[in-house]
Amino acid sequence: MTDSDADYVETLRANRREKDDFFGSHPQSPVPPAEREDFEGLDYFDPNLDYRVEATATRHDDPDPVPMETNTGEEVRYVRVVTFEVELGEANIRLHGYKQRPDDADEPVFVPFRDKTTGQQTYRGGRYLELHPEGDLVDGETVVIDFNLAYTPFCAFSEAFSCPLPPEENWLDVAVAAGERDPTN
């Protein structure tokens, strides 16, 4: 492992400790207040640089609306603003990114997904990534997608939250053993 790889892993672990502290004590934590005292931290896959991959972006200038069901039965509307071509191990996959306000440059690109770990090692409702590109993505731009940052939506911790479920176009036919594991196991 190079020094920069070791620095990346240490930064990732520090961010995870910070998130665990937030979940265990902050008033805005998704963990119900009665359960925070016993909260010992989230369960994570070990950091794996193979899940930090470069993706090629294809921007959608006229984004298509994509209705997403939520865990509570409502529907929320997003628009598909970008498609990423990613090589993950032996597989070439497409992963779509969405926004609710496509003209808002400050809104992160929302990338909800399911994979072969969903419902077994990871939350049954899927996991999320958020990308924060500088400015608008352009066709052919290379973006780093870091599955080590895949996180479980708040609705996994409390019924007080309504969370979008990944649309079928983001159901991956590969296992992504990176990021957060199922908090209910």
**Sign of the dihedral through C-alpha 38, 147, 154, 156:** negative
Q: Report the C-alpha gap between 129 and 166 in whole angstroms.
A: 11
Q: What residue type is assigned to position 83 of the chain? A: T
Residue 39 has pLDDT above 90, yes or no: yes
Predicted model pTM = 0.93
Beta bridge partners of 99: 79
At 138-157, the pLDDT tens digits run 888 999 999 999 999 999 99
* Tokens 């996959």, residue located: 93
Q: What residue type is assigned to position 58 of the chain? A: T
Q: Report the C-alpha gap between 48 and 7 in whole angstroms.
A: 13
Give residue limits of the domains in the chain. 41-170
Q: What confidence category does residue 185 fall into, taking pLDDT thresholds of 50, 70 and 90? A: low
Residue 69 has pLDDT above 90, yes or no: yes
Residue 184 has pLDDT above 80, yes or no: no
Helices (H), the chain: 3-25, 33-36
Can you give the pLDDT at residue 2?
A: 78
